[in-house]
Amino acid sequence: MTVRLHLVDLNQRVVAAWQRAFSPFPEVSIAHGNILTVARHVLISPANSLGYMDGGVDRAYAQFFGQTLARRVRDAVLRRPLTHGIK
């Protein structure tokens, strides 16, 4: 099974840099645009592992999908053994 990676950014300079860096890898596609309108199946946030959705792309996700998403993400993180007790 081949895993495909789709990178999306609003900043054209970032997109151009990704295109140069990933040109040897056909399984990586690069797009200029809004990830919330381009994503089809999955969105991944590289921001943090504690589930805080109050800044950057996480805030955009929370605003787009609603605060229920932010609560569900935080609850899921707190159930993980490695983060148990972190508040």
Residues 77 and 52 in one domain: yes
Percent of the chain residues past pLDDT 90, beyond the cut: 31
Residue 53 belongs to domain spanning: 45-87
Residues 34 and 61 in one domain: no
Whether this prediction's pTM lies above 0.75 is answered by no
Beta strands in 21-87 (DSSP E): 28-32
62-82 per-position pLDDT tens digit: 888 888 888 888 888 888 776
Q: Which two tokens stand for residue 50?
A: 């504690």
Q: Which two tokens stand for residue 64?
A: 């787009």
Structural domain total, the chain: 2
| C-alpha count within 13 angstroms, C-beta hemisphere, residue 73 | 20
Residues 34 and 70 in one domain: no
3-class secondary-structure state, position 67: helix
